[in-house]
Amino acid sequence: MSITKDGYKLIYLDASAFKESACLERLRYVIDEGLRAKETSSALVYGTAVHKFIAELRHTGGYSKAIQEIINYYLPFSLDIKEKDFRTALHLASTCKGYYEKVYKGDYFLPIKKNGIAQIEQKFAFPATDIFPQFRDKLESMKLVIILSGTVDEIGVIENDCITIKDIKTTTQWNIAEYLETYWLSTQMLFYILIVEHLLGIKNVGAMIDTIILSGTKPTEFYRSEVMYYSEQKRASFKRQLEDTIDGIINNVETSPGLWQQNFTVCDCAKFQSEKAGQCSYFKLCKSEDEEIKASYKKAYFNTINYNPLEFDQHKI
């Protein structure tokens, strides 16, 4: 949380933070305390580099310049990656070339333009009260501003003139059908659709995914999903969920600053997520009652950085 000169508290809520909202305390660690794991994963920076390459390509159409910029960006990081990690600068260059040849050339997806600028890596940030005016008086009385924010990879049209958002994913998951099916119930897609429909004042925006499938032993493959259209019922249900979360943030900031509502069922669910080694990332903070131990654990494993999704592509390398 940051505080403006005139005393307003700003909380940014984006699709990635929203994923943590099943436990409001977990959400607080992210959006209020700004805790971020110290270790920067190569998968994350590699993915950011691919996004930057595609954005540069879409804006300028110049392959050589885009590839040069991206290698310059990635090279300092790639020197530090672990020996067995396949995500080298050379691998990145090969992936970008493949995307240019196999996806970009002859693409039927056309980014829409606003004031002559293609809607690529489109950042947005506006008060949640623009969509949920029912919270206006309460938030004003608390001098609290909740900002819906994030970056939509691409907004464009496809052959039937339907407006579609496109998200670009890099993954090592080769079961592509199973991987893409999960996006039919994705908070990220539903979040972006709600935002884009609000900003453009239109309905029935679709979503599609360009998946870039990575491997250390096989050449990178590219797969575009079908366009997903979410039913009115699903969109309304998601909107209610977002509304409940905003309500929860407001209530907890007001009544329980420093410890928002914990949801212990979510601690249990983390046991089944192998990538988190069976524990929520904040488990040791919640478990301990000793403030000194908590402080030293935070210092050892997290950086504290004001949570602002508009600055997420600026990884410190």
For residues 175 and 177, give the distance between their C-alpha atoms in angstroms, rounded to a whole number.
6
Q: How far is the CB of 12 from ligand SF4 (least distance, A)?
A: 19
**Entry field: residues in the chain:** 317
Contacts with ligand SF4, 221-260, as mask; x by CB under 6 A: ----------------------------------------
Applying CB under 6 A, among 12, 99, 238, 282 the residue interacting with ligand SF4 is 282
Residues near ligand SF4 (CB under 6 A), total: 12
Applying CB under 6 A, among 54, 103, 208, 280 the residue interacting with ligand SF4 is 280
CA angle 276, 277, 279 (to 5 degrees): 70
Closer residue to ligand SF4, CB minimum distance, 146 or 285:
285
Q: How far is the CB of 3 from ligand SF4 (least distance, A)?
A: 24
Q: How far apart are the first and last CA of the chain?
A: 24
Site for ligand SF4 contains 267 (CB under 6 A): yes
Contact 280, 26 (CB under 8 A): yes
Closer residue to ligand SF4, CB minimum distance, 102 or 271:
271
3-state secondary structure 44-113: HHHHHHHHHHHHHHHHHCCHHHHHHHHHHHHHHHHCCCCCCCCCCHHHHHHHHHHHHHHHHCCCCCEECE
Q: How far is the CB of 55 from ligand SF4 (least distance, A)?
A: 34
Tell me the β-bridge partners of 127.
147
In the numeric block, the tokens 């990656």 are attached to: 81
18 to 57, contacts with ligand SF4 by CB under 6 A? 23, 25-26
For residues 14 and 31, give the distance between their C-alpha atoms in angstroms, rounded to a whole number.
9
Closer residue to ligand SF4, CB minimum distance, 75 or 269:
269
Q: How far is the CB of 263 from ligand SF4 (least distance, A)?
A: 6
Applying CB under 6 A, among 262, 298, 310, 313 the residue interacting with ligand SF4 is 262
Contact 139, 250 (CB under 8 A): yes
Closer residue to ligand SF4, CB minimum distance, 263 or 303:
263
Site residues (vs ligand SF4, CB under 6 A): 23, 25-26, 262-264, 266-267, 280, 282-283, 286
